[in-house]
């Protein structure tokens, strides 16, 4: 997956601002065979509790974006969320709750409030884990 530098910055800023809660949002880019993310849309973390260890995308936002992007040549390519003081790999909870196997998952790890690493993953289906996806930041 290719990630624009501006989008990477927006995700880092959001992850820092939400700390110590998990930040989450949607990844947008051109529809097509190549994954190029050039826009991040911030979602509220709609997890009812434990937001330092859980996230839940605002599904109303998701559906509205999906509708608004129809016919524009752009689409939702994936989701992102942060791991405050956690590793940049899917947690057991992520694996158990993985959805959207047509979406990539981007994870931003933070240590003491600063983003240390961003990684990308392809969900293999609920409970079946994730495969790593090569991530390239572009100007
Ligand atoms: Zn997670």
- Domains (ranges, CATH) in the chain? 2-138 (3.40.140.10)
Split at pLDDT 50, 70, 90, the class of 105 is very high
pLDDT the model gives residue 97: 81
Q: Which of 138, 114, 125, 123 is nearest to 12 (CA)?
A: 114
**What is the rounded distance in angstroms from the CA atom of residue 25 to the CA atom of residue 130?**
19
Tell me what the mean pLDDT of segment 110-121 comes to. Answer: 95
* pLDDT (mean) for 110-139: 92
Tell me what pLDDT residue 126 has.
77
Q: How far is the CA of 72 from the centre of ligand 1 (A)?
A: 30
In this predicted structure, the answer to whether residue 84 has a pLDDT above a threshold of 70 is yes
pLDDT of residue 63: 96
Say how many Å lie between the CA of residue 70 and the centre of ligand 1: 28
Non-local CB neighbours of 24 within 8 Å, separated by 6+ positions: 43, 45, 55, 56, 57, 79, 80, 81, 82
95 C-alpha to ligand 1 centroid (Å) = 8
Contact 109, 82 (CB under 8 A): yes
What spacing in Å lies between the alpha carbon of 4 and ligand 1's midpoint? 22
Give the residue-averaged pLDDT of 45-74. Answer: 96
The answer on pLDDT for 67 being more than 80 is yes
Question: How far apart are the CA of 96 and the centre of ligand 1, in A?
Answer: 10
């Amino acid at each position: 997956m290719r990630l624009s530098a501006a989008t990477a910055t927006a995700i880092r800023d959001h992850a820092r601002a939400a700390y110590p809660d998990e930040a989450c949002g949607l990844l947008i880019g051109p529809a097509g065979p190549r994954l190029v993310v050039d826009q991040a849309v911030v979602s509220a973390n709609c997890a009812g509790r434990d937001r330092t260890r859980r996230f839940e995308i605002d599904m109303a936002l998701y559906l509205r974006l999906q509708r608004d992007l129809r016919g524009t040549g752009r689409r939702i390519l994936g989701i992102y969320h942060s791991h405050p003081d956690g590793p940049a790999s899917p947690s057991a909870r992520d694996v158990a709750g993985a959805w959207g196997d047509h979406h990539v998952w981007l994870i931003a790890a933070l240590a003491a409030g600063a983003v240390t690493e961003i990684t990308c993953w392809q969900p293999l289906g609920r409970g079946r884990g994730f495969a790593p996806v090569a991530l390239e930041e572009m100007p």
